[in-house]
Protein backbone atom coordinates (compact mmCIF):
# COMPACT_ATOMS: atom_id res chain seq x y z
CA UNK A 1 0.00 0.00 0.00
CA UNK A 2 1.42 3.40 -0.94
CA UNK A 3 2.86 5.19 2.08
CA UNK A 4 2.25 2.24 4.40
CA UNK A 5 4.35 -0.62 5.67
CA UNK A 6 2.29 -3.46 7.11
CA UNK A 7 3.20 -6.30 9.44
CA UNK A 8 0.62 -9.03 10.12
CA UNK A 9 0.41 -11.79 12.68
CA UNK A 10 -2.01 -13.99 14.55
CA UNK A 11 -1.85 -14.21 18.32
CA UNK A 12 -3.32 -17.14 20.26
CA UNK A 13 -5.52 -16.17 23.22
CA UNK A 14 -7.75 -18.21 25.54
CA UNK A 15 -11.34 -18.53 24.40
CA UNK A 16 -12.42 -18.15 28.02
CA UNK A 17 -10.37 -15.70 30.03
CA UNK A 18 -12.16 -16.99 33.13
CA UNK A 19 -10.25 -20.25 32.64
CA UNK A 20 -7.18 -19.25 30.62
CA UNK A 21 -5.23 -22.46 31.20
CA UNK A 22 -7.94 -25.06 31.03
CA UNK A 23 -9.82 -24.52 27.81
CA UNK A 24 -9.67 -23.91 24.08
CA UNK A 25 -7.80 -21.09 22.41
CA UNK A 26 -8.67 -18.82 19.50
CA UNK A 27 -6.61 -16.47 17.37
CA UNK A 28 -6.68 -12.69 17.17
CA UNK A 29 -5.44 -11.14 13.94
CA UNK A 30 -3.24 -8.06 14.29
CA UNK A 31 -2.11 -5.75 11.50
CA UNK A 32 0.49 -3.11 12.31
CA UNK A 33 0.94 -0.08 10.05
CA UNK A 34 3.86 2.32 10.03
CA UNK A 35 5.25 5.02 7.78
CA UNK A 36 7.91 3.22 5.69
CA UNK A 37 10.44 5.97 6.43
CA UNK A 38 9.94 5.42 10.18
CA UNK A 39 9.88 1.66 10.09
CA UNK A 40 12.94 1.29 12.31
CA UNK A 41 12.10 4.15 14.68
CA UNK A 42 11.08 3.75 18.30
CA UNK A 43 7.53 5.06 17.93
CA UNK A 44 4.66 5.24 20.39
CA UNK A 45 1.78 2.84 19.74
CA UNK A 46 -1.80 3.68 18.87
CA UNK A 47 -4.38 0.88 18.79
CA UNK A 48 -7.62 1.54 16.94
CA UNK A 49 -10.82 0.18 18.50
CA UNK A 50 -13.43 -0.14 15.79
CA UNK A 51 -17.17 0.25 16.11
CA UNK A 52 -19.57 -2.62 16.40
CA UNK A 53 -20.14 -4.84 18.22
CA UNK A 54 -18.75 -7.48 15.96
CA UNK A 55 -16.93 -5.23 13.51
CA UNK A 56 -13.60 -6.06 11.95
CA UNK A 57 -10.91 -3.39 11.76
CA UNK A 58 -10.86 -1.15 8.69
CA UNK A 59 -8.84 -2.26 5.68
CA UNK A 60 -6.99 0.90 4.60
CA UNK A 61 -6.08 1.43 0.98
CA UNK A 62 -4.22 4.72 1.51
CA UNK A 63 -3.22 7.22 4.18
CA UNK A 64 -6.40 9.29 4.13
CA UNK A 65 -8.38 10.64 7.08
CA UNK A 66 -7.26 10.08 10.65
CA UNK A 67 -4.77 7.39 9.65
CA UNK A 68 -2.55 9.90 7.85
CA UNK A 69 -2.21 12.00 10.99
CA UNK A 70 -1.69 8.97 13.20
CA UNK A 71 1.16 7.67 11.05
CA UNK A 72 3.05 10.92 11.51
CA UNK A 73 3.53 10.05 15.17
CA UNK A 74 2.53 6.47 15.91
CA UNK A 75 2.94 2.87 14.96
CA UNK A 76 -0.75 2.02 14.37
CA UNK A 77 -2.16 -1.32 15.52
CA UNK A 78 -5.35 -2.65 13.92
CA UNK A 79 -6.66 -5.77 15.64
CA UNK A 80 -9.73 -7.66 14.45
CA UNK A 81 -11.81 -8.14 17.59
CA UNK A 82 -12.34 -11.78 18.56
CA UNK A 83 -14.86 -13.46 16.30
CA UNK A 84 -14.43 -10.99 13.43
CA UNK A 85 -12.39 -10.48 10.28
CA UNK A 86 -9.31 -12.68 10.12
CA UNK A 87 -9.47 -13.54 13.80
CA UNK A 88 -11.05 -16.92 14.57
CA UNK A 89 -14.60 -16.36 13.34
CA UNK A 90 -17.78 -16.83 15.31
CA UNK A 91 -20.51 -18.05 12.97
CA UNK A 92 -24.04 -19.25 13.47
CA UNK A 93 -23.12 -22.82 12.60
CA UNK A 94 -20.66 -22.90 15.51
CA UNK A 95 -23.51 -22.63 18.01
CA UNK A 96 -25.07 -25.88 16.82
CA UNK A 97 -22.16 -27.78 18.38
CA UNK A 98 -23.20 -26.86 21.92
CA UNK A 99 -25.27 -29.31 23.97
CA UNK A 100 -27.87 -26.75 25.02
CA UNK A 101 -28.88 -23.13 24.59
CA UNK A 102 -27.29 -22.08 27.89
CA UNK A 103 -23.89 -23.30 26.71
CA UNK A 104 -24.37 -21.50 23.39
CA UNK A 105 -25.24 -18.31 25.27
CA UNK A 106 -22.13 -18.69 27.42
CA UNK A 107 -20.08 -18.96 24.25
CA UNK A 108 -21.55 -15.75 22.81
CA UNK A 109 -20.93 -13.94 26.09
CA UNK A 110 -17.19 -14.62 25.74
CA UNK A 111 -17.08 -12.16 22.83
CA UNK A 112 -17.92 -9.06 24.86
CA UNK A 113 -15.76 -6.03 25.67
CA UNK A 114 -14.11 -7.46 28.79
CA UNK A 115 -12.72 -10.39 26.79
CA UNK A 116 -11.57 -8.04 24.01
CA UNK A 117 -9.67 -5.97 26.57
CA UNK A 118 -7.88 -9.07 27.84
CA UNK A 119 -7.02 -10.04 24.26
CA UNK A 120 -5.52 -6.60 23.65
CA UNK A 121 -3.55 -6.71 26.89
CA UNK A 122 -2.13 -10.08 25.86
CA UNK A 123 -1.10 -8.63 22.49
CA UNK A 124 0.45 -5.58 24.16
CA UNK A 125 2.51 -7.69 26.53
CA UNK A 126 3.58 -10.48 24.18
CA UNK A 127 4.02 -8.64 20.88
CA UNK A 128 5.05 -5.18 22.10
CA UNK A 129 6.95 -6.04 25.27
CA UNK A 130 4.48 -4.36 27.58
CA UNK A 131 4.89 -0.90 26.00
CA UNK A 132 1.96 1.33 26.84
CA UNK A 133 -0.28 2.35 24.00
CA UNK A 134 -2.84 5.00 23.17
CA UNK A 135 -6.33 3.98 22.09
CA UNK A 136 -8.47 5.66 19.45
CA UNK A 137 -12.04 4.43 19.52
CA UNK A 138 -15.05 4.75 17.25
CA UNK A 139 -18.53 4.11 18.67
CA UNK A 140 -18.53 0.65 20.34
CA UNK A 141 -14.78 1.03 20.59
CA UNK A 142 -15.62 3.43 23.41
CA UNK A 143 -17.29 0.59 25.33
CA UNK A 144 -14.00 -1.29 25.01
CA UNK A 145 -12.09 1.83 26.08
CA UNK A 146 -14.00 2.23 29.33
CA UNK A 147 -13.74 -1.48 30.04
CA UNK A 148 -9.99 -1.12 29.45
CA UNK A 149 -9.81 1.82 31.87
CA UNK A 150 -11.67 -0.34 34.39
CA UNK A 151 -9.61 -3.52 34.05
CA UNK A 152 -6.10 -2.58 32.88
CA UNK A 153 -5.43 1.19 32.91
CA UNK A 154 -1.73 0.54 33.50
CA UNK A 155 -1.43 -0.39 29.82
CA UNK A 156 -2.74 2.93 28.51
CA UNK A 157 -1.00 6.18 27.62
CA UNK A 158 -4.17 8.06 26.65
CA UNK A 159 -7.63 7.35 25.27
CA UNK A 160 -9.40 9.15 22.43
CA UNK A 161 -13.07 8.34 21.87
CA UNK A 162 -15.32 9.38 18.97
CA UNK A 163 -19.07 9.03 19.55
CA UNK A 164 -18.74 6.15 21.96
CA UNK A 165 -18.88 6.94 25.67
CA UNK A 166 -21.14 4.31 27.26
CA UNK A 167 -23.76 5.18 29.82
CA UNK A 168 -22.73 4.09 33.30
CA UNK A 169 -24.25 2.39 35.16
CA UNK A 170 -25.27 0.49 32.04
CA UNK A 171 -29.00 0.35 31.19
CA UNK A 172 -30.39 -0.88 27.89
CA UNK A 173 -33.85 0.42 28.79
CA UNK A 174 -32.55 3.94 29.38
CA UNK A 175 -30.57 3.88 26.13
CA UNK A 176 -33.60 2.96 24.03
CA UNK A 177 -35.87 5.45 25.77
CA UNK A 178 -33.56 8.12 24.46
CA UNK A 179 -32.61 6.72 21.06
CA UNK A 180 -36.18 6.02 19.93
CA UNK A 181 -36.93 9.70 20.48
CA UNK A 182 -33.85 10.64 18.49
CA UNK A 183 -34.71 8.29 15.61
CA UNK A 184 -38.22 9.71 15.43
CA UNK A 185 -36.74 13.21 15.18
CA UNK A 186 -34.29 12.07 12.48
CA UNK A 187 -37.14 10.55 10.46
CA UNK A 188 -39.07 13.83 10.69
CA UNK A 189 -35.98 15.71 9.55
CA UNK A 190 -35.57 13.31 6.63
CA UNK A 191 -39.15 13.91 5.52
CA UNK A 192 -38.65 17.68 5.78
CA UNK A 193 -35.61 17.45 3.55
CA UNK A 194 -37.31 15.12 1.06
CA UNK A 195 -41.08 15.76 1.43
CA UNK A 196 -41.82 13.67 -1.65
CA UNK A 197 -40.53 10.64 0.24
CA UNK A 198 -43.46 10.69 2.67
CA UNK A 199 -45.65 9.24 -0.06
CA UNK A 200 -42.83 7.26 -1.69
CA UNK A 201 -41.96 5.45 1.55
CA UNK A 202 -45.65 4.84 2.26
CA UNK A 203 -46.07 3.32 -1.20
CA UNK A 204 -43.22 0.87 -0.54
CA UNK A 205 -44.64 -0.06 2.85
CA UNK A 206 -48.13 -0.55 1.40
CA UNK A 207 -46.73 -2.88 -1.25
CA UNK A 208 -44.83 -4.85 1.40
CA UNK A 209 -48.02 -5.15 3.43
CA UNK A 210 -49.56 -7.00 0.49
CA UNK A 211 -46.88 -9.67 0.96
CA UNK A 212 -44.83 -11.93 -1.31
CA UNK A 213 -41.95 -9.52 -1.89
CA UNK A 214 -38.80 -11.63 -1.99
CA UNK A 215 -35.24 -10.49 -1.63
CA UNK A 216 -32.59 -12.07 -3.87
CA UNK A 217 -31.66 -14.60 -1.14
CA UNK A 218 -35.27 -15.74 -0.78
CA UNK A 219 -36.04 -13.88 2.45
CA UNK A 220 -39.27 -11.89 2.58
CA UNK A 221 -38.90 -8.13 2.70
CA UNK A 222 -41.29 -7.02 5.43
CA UNK A 223 -42.17 -3.53 6.61
CA UNK A 224 -40.20 -4.18 9.81
CA UNK A 225 -37.10 -4.95 7.79
CA UNK A 226 -37.69 -1.95 5.53
CA UNK A 227 -37.98 0.29 8.61
CA UNK A 228 -34.58 -0.89 9.82
CA UNK A 229 -32.96 0.95 6.90
CA UNK A 230 -33.32 4.02 9.10
CA UNK A 231 -30.02 3.14 10.74
CA UNK A 232 -28.46 5.15 7.92
CA UNK A 233 -30.13 8.36 9.14
CA UNK A 234 -27.49 8.66 11.85
CA UNK A 235 -24.66 9.07 9.34
CA UNK A 236 -23.69 12.25 7.53
CA UNK A 237 -24.80 11.23 4.00
CA UNK A 238 -27.48 8.85 5.28
CA UNK A 239 -30.46 11.01 4.32
CA UNK A 240 -29.27 11.10 0.74
CA UNK A 241 -28.51 7.37 0.59
CA UNK A 242 -32.00 6.52 1.84
CA UNK A 243 -33.61 8.99 -0.55
CA UNK A 244 -31.81 7.60 -3.60
CA UNK A 245 -32.84 4.09 -2.58
CA UNK A 246 -36.50 5.00 -2.14
CA UNK A 247 -36.50 6.98 -5.37
CA UNK A 248 -35.75 3.87 -7.43
CA UNK A 249 -38.03 1.49 -5.53
CA UNK A 250 -40.66 0.93 -8.22
CA UNK A 251 -39.80 0.04 -11.80
CA UNK A 252 -43.48 -0.05 -12.75
CA UNK A 253 -46.75 0.26 -10.83
CA UNK A 254 -46.90 -2.32 -8.06
CA UNK A 255 -43.51 -3.86 -8.83
CA UNK A 256 -40.46 -3.24 -6.69
CA UNK A 257 -37.34 -3.30 -8.83
CA UNK A 258 -34.55 -5.84 -8.60
CA UNK A 259 -31.99 -3.11 -7.98
CA UNK A 260 -33.97 -1.79 -5.03
CA UNK A 261 -34.43 -5.27 -3.59
CA UNK A 262 -30.75 -6.13 -4.04
CA UNK A 263 -29.73 -3.00 -2.18
CA UNK A 264 -32.22 -3.67 0.60
CA UNK A 265 -30.69 -7.13 0.97
CA UNK A 266 -27.18 -5.73 1.00
CA UNK A 267 -28.04 -3.25 3.74
CA UNK A 268 -30.01 -5.64 5.95
CA UNK A 269 -28.63 -9.15 5.38
CA UNK A 270 -25.93 -8.97 8.10
CA UNK A 271 -23.69 -10.94 5.74
CA UNK A 272 -20.62 -8.89 6.60
CA UNK A 273 -21.26 -8.70 10.32
CA UNK A 274 -23.84 -11.05 11.89
CA UNK A 275 -22.46 -10.32 15.36
CA UNK A 276 -23.56 -6.69 15.11
CA UNK A 277 -27.19 -7.56 15.81
CA UNK A 278 -26.41 -10.76 17.70
CA UNK A 279 -24.43 -8.95 20.41
CA UNK A 280 -26.22 -5.60 20.16
CA UNK A 281 -28.12 -5.58 23.45
CA UNK A 282 -25.57 -7.64 25.37
CA UNK A 283 -23.20 -4.66 25.37
CA UNK A 284 -25.47 -3.15 28.06
CA UNK A 285 -25.23 -6.16 30.39
CA UNK A 286 -22.91 -5.36 33.29
CA UNK A 287 -22.57 -7.33 36.51
CA UNK A 288 -25.87 -7.65 38.34
CA UNK A 289 -27.85 -5.09 36.31
CA UNK A 290 -30.23 -7.83 35.18
CA UNK A 291 -31.61 -9.06 31.86
CA UNK A 292 -31.61 -6.74 28.88
CA UNK A 293 -34.94 -8.39 28.05
CA UNK A 294 -35.21 -7.21 24.44
CA UNK A 295 -35.26 -3.63 25.72
CA UNK A 296 -35.56 -2.11 22.24
CA UNK A 297 -38.66 -4.19 21.47
CA UNK A 298 -40.19 -3.26 24.82
CA UNK A 299 -39.65 0.43 24.11
CA UNK A 300 -41.03 0.09 20.59
CA UNK A 301 -44.17 -1.54 21.99
CA UNK A 302 -44.71 1.59 24.08
CA UNK A 303 -44.56 3.82 20.99
CA UNK A 304 -47.46 3.09 18.61
CA UNK A 305 -46.18 5.69 16.16
CA UNK A 306 -43.55 3.11 15.10
CA UNK A 307 -46.20 0.56 14.14
CA UNK A 308 -45.58 -0.69 10.58
CA UNK A 309 -49.20 0.12 9.71
CA UNK A 310 -48.87 3.80 10.64
CA UNK A 311 -48.30 6.54 8.08
CA UNK A 312 -46.08 8.47 7.68
CA UNK A 313 -43.91 5.43 8.28
CA UNK A 314 -41.23 5.89 10.93
CA UNK A 315 -37.86 4.24 10.51
CA UNK A 316 -35.87 2.52 13.25
CA UNK A 317 -32.17 2.74 14.06
CA UNK A 318 -29.49 0.80 15.92
CA UNK A 319 -31.96 -1.47 17.67
CA UNK A 320 -32.06 -5.26 17.74
CA UNK A 321 -35.51 -6.87 17.60
CA UNK A 322 -36.61 -10.51 17.93
CA UNK A 323 -38.07 -10.47 14.40
CA UNK A 324 -34.56 -10.11 12.96
CA UNK A 325 -33.66 -13.60 14.11
CA UNK A 326 -36.74 -14.99 12.37
CA UNK A 327 -36.73 -12.99 9.14
CA UNK A 328 -33.01 -12.60 8.33
CA UNK A 329 -31.54 -15.82 7.00
CA UNK A 330 -28.01 -15.36 8.33
CA UNK A 331 -29.22 -14.46 11.82
CA UNK A 332 -31.52 -17.46 12.34
CA UNK A 333 -28.76 -19.78 13.63
CA UNK A 334 -28.10 -17.28 16.44
CA UNK A 335 -31.74 -17.00 17.53
CA UNK A 336 -31.85 -19.39 20.49
CA UNK A 337 -28.57 -18.16 21.97
CA UNK A 338 -29.59 -14.51 21.58
CA UNK A 339 -32.87 -15.15 23.39
CA UNK A 340 -30.87 -16.82 26.15
CA UNK A 341 -28.60 -13.78 26.44
CA UNK A 342 -31.60 -11.45 26.61
CA UNK A 343 -32.89 -13.30 29.68
CA UNK A 344 -29.52 -13.57 31.44
CA UNK A 345 -29.70 -12.05 34.97
CA UNK A 346 -25.95 -11.70 35.57
CA UNK A 347 -23.04 -10.66 33.40
CA UNK A 348 -19.31 -10.35 33.59
CA UNK A 349 -18.34 -6.97 34.99
CA UNK A 350 -17.48 -4.40 32.31
CA UNK A 351 -16.96 -1.23 34.31
CA UNK A 352 -15.41 -0.44 37.67
CA UNK A 353 -17.08 2.86 38.61
CA UNK A 354 -14.72 3.56 41.50
CA UNK A 355 -11.70 2.98 39.32
CA UNK A 356 -13.13 5.21 36.60
CA UNK A 357 -13.72 7.99 39.13
CA UNK A 358 -10.07 7.79 40.20
CA UNK A 359 -8.77 7.42 36.63
CA UNK A 360 -5.46 9.10 35.80
CA UNK A 361 -5.23 8.14 32.12
CA UNK A 362 -5.94 11.20 29.93
CA UNK A 363 -9.30 10.72 28.17
CA UNK A 364 -10.67 13.02 25.45
CA UNK A 365 -14.03 12.29 23.85
CA UNK A 366 -15.84 13.74 20.85
CA UNK A 367 -19.54 13.89 21.75
CA UNK A 368 -21.81 14.51 18.77
CA UNK A 369 -24.72 16.56 20.04
CA UNK A 370 -27.22 15.09 17.56
CA UNK A 371 -25.87 11.53 17.70
CA UNK A 372 -28.65 9.07 16.84
CA UNK A 373 -26.72 6.06 18.11
CA UNK A 374 -25.15 7.11 21.41
CA UNK A 375 -27.09 9.69 23.39
CA UNK A 376 -25.02 12.82 24.02
CA UNK A 377 -26.43 13.45 27.49
CA UNK A 378 -25.66 9.93 28.64
CA UNK A 379 -22.11 10.35 27.35
CA UNK A 380 -21.63 13.62 29.21
CA UNK A 381 -23.12 12.15 32.37
CA UNK A 382 -20.57 9.34 32.30
CA UNK A 383 -17.67 11.70 31.61
CA UNK A 384 -18.68 13.87 34.56
CA UNK A 385 -17.78 10.92 36.79
CA UNK A 386 -14.55 9.82 35.08
CA UNK A 387 -11.28 11.26 36.29
CA UNK A 388 -8.87 12.99 33.87
CA UNK A 389 -11.54 13.15 31.15
CA UNK A 390 -12.74 15.98 28.95
CA UNK A 391 -15.35 16.32 26.22
CA UNK A 392 -15.53 18.12 22.92
CA UNK A 393 -19.21 18.61 22.15
CA UNK A 394 -20.06 19.45 18.54
CA UNK A 395 -23.17 19.53 16.34
CA UNK A 396 -21.14 19.78 13.14
CA UNK A 397 -20.61 16.03 12.84
CA UNK A 398 -22.74 12.91 12.95
CA UNK A 399 -21.88 9.47 14.32
CA UNK A 400 -19.43 8.86 11.47
CA UNK A 401 -17.56 12.09 12.17
CA UNK A 402 -14.33 10.17 12.58
CA UNK A 403 -14.13 10.06 8.80
CA UNK A 404 -13.61 13.82 8.62
CA UNK A 405 -10.00 13.44 9.73
CA UNK A 406 -10.13 16.34 12.19
CA UNK A 407 -11.58 14.48 15.16
CA UNK A 408 -8.29 12.86 16.15
CA UNK A 409 -6.50 16.18 15.68
CA UNK A 410 -8.82 17.99 18.06
CA UNK A 411 -8.80 15.26 20.70
CA UNK A 412 -5.02 15.09 20.70
CA UNK A 413 -4.88 18.86 21.16
CA UNK A 414 -7.14 18.60 24.21
CA UNK A 415 -4.83 16.07 25.83
CA UNK A 416 -1.70 17.94 24.81
CA UNK A 417 -3.01 21.12 26.44
CA UNK A 418 -3.33 19.25 29.75
CA UNK A 419 0.12 17.74 29.83
CA UNK A 420 0.02 15.15 27.06
CA UNK A 421 -0.03 11.37 26.94
CA UNK A 422 1.55 9.22 29.64
CA UNK A 423 4.76 7.42 28.78
Residue 99 in contact with residue 105, Cβ under 8 Å? no
Q: How far is 80 from 85, CA to CA, in rounded Å?
A: 6
Q: Among 26, 31, 76, which residue's Cα sits nearest to residue 56?
A: 31
Specify the pTM: 0.97
Instruction: List, for residues 347-405, the tens digit of each pLDDT value.
Output: 999 999 999 999 999 999 999 999 999 999 999 999 999 999 999 999 999 999 998 87
CB distance 123 to 28 below 8 Å: yes
For the chain, domains (ranges, CATH) are: 5-170+350-417 (3.40.50.1820), 172-342 (no CATH)
Q: How far apart are CA 214 and CA 366, in angstroms?
A: 41
Q: Cβ neighbours of residue 314 under 8 Å, at least 6 residues apart?
A: 183, 184, 187, 227, 230, 305, 306
CA distance 142 to 170: 13
Contact between 233 and 242 under an 8 Å Cβ cutoff? The reply is yes
pLDDT band at 62 (very low <50, low <70, confident <90, very high): confident
Q: Is the pLDDT of residue 141 over 90?
A: yes
Tell me the pLDDT tens digit for each residue of 110-136: 999 999 999 999 999 999 999 999 999
pLDDT digits (tens, 9 = 90+) for 310-347: 999 999 999 999 999 999 999 999 999 999 999 999 99
Q: Please say whether the beta carbons of 16 and 110 come within 8 A.
A: yes
Looking at residue 64, its pLDDT comes to 86
CA 160 from centre of chain:
16
Residues of the chain with pLDDT > 70, as a percent, come to 100
Amino acid sequence: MPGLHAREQRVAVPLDWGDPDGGASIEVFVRELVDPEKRGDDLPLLVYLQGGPGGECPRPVDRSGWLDEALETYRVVLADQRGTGRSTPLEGADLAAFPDVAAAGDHLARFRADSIVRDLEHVRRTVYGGQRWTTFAQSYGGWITFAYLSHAPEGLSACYVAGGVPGTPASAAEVYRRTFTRVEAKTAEYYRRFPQDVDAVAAVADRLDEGDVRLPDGDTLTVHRFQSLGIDLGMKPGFERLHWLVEKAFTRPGRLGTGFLAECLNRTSSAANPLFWTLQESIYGDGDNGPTGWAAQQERDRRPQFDPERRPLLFTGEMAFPWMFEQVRLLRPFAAAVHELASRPRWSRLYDLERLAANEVPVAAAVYYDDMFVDARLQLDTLSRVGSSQAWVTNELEHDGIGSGRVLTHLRELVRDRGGERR
